[in-house]
Amino acid sequence: MGSMKHNVKKLPLFLTQKDVENLTRNIRKDKHKLGLLLMSYGGLRVSEMCSLKISDIHLQRGFMKIHGKGGKERIVPLNATLQKMIESYLSKYSYHLNPESYLIGGARNSWHYVVKKYAEQNLGRTDIHCHTLRHSFATTLYEEGVQIERISQLLGHSKLDTTMVYAHISLEQKRDAV
């Protein structure tokens, strides 16, 4: 009967900027807050965030070097929120960090738990995952008129097709708004 539906790709969920602010607002654990911001404002995969080292962060020049899938490296600019948060985090914890230390580290699955916990606590939602934060980053960029090729670079996608889904999300939203 409803066989038409099968080829429709489910669009990834994402949070608006306001949602991200609410999600991260009253997180007391600095490490947790920074982790969520790195995924939301840097578009990092959870694995990339866990393996991010102090030496990958270039505060003076406002970017971080990400070691992505398949050994690919990319440069991701730090937005103002992220820049401030990393600066204060480092000034607080740098006494036990060296250039080869992980900025945050942690196990991937524990981060999934962290995101679920705060999403439920601060947004009352149970459908938010680490990857949702990455999608939110991409969708926001797309809506701000950033070229899809550029978003693709920032996310470290090897194929543009992977990034094109964000154009579809945005379209769906506009359709809902009408």
Please identify every residue annotated as catalytic. Answer: 45, 69, 131, 134, 157, 166
Per-residue buried b or exposed e for 66-87, using 16+ beta carbons within 10 Å of the residue's own CB: bebeeeeebebebeeebbebbe
User: If you search the block for the tokens 């070097």, which residue do you land on?
Assistant: 65
The span from the CA of 109 to the CA of 132, in Å, is 15
Return the closest-CA partner of residue 87 out of 115, 65, 62: 62
Is there a contact between 17 and 115 (Cβ–Cβ < 8 Å)? no
Name the strand (E) or helix (H) holding 55. Answer: none
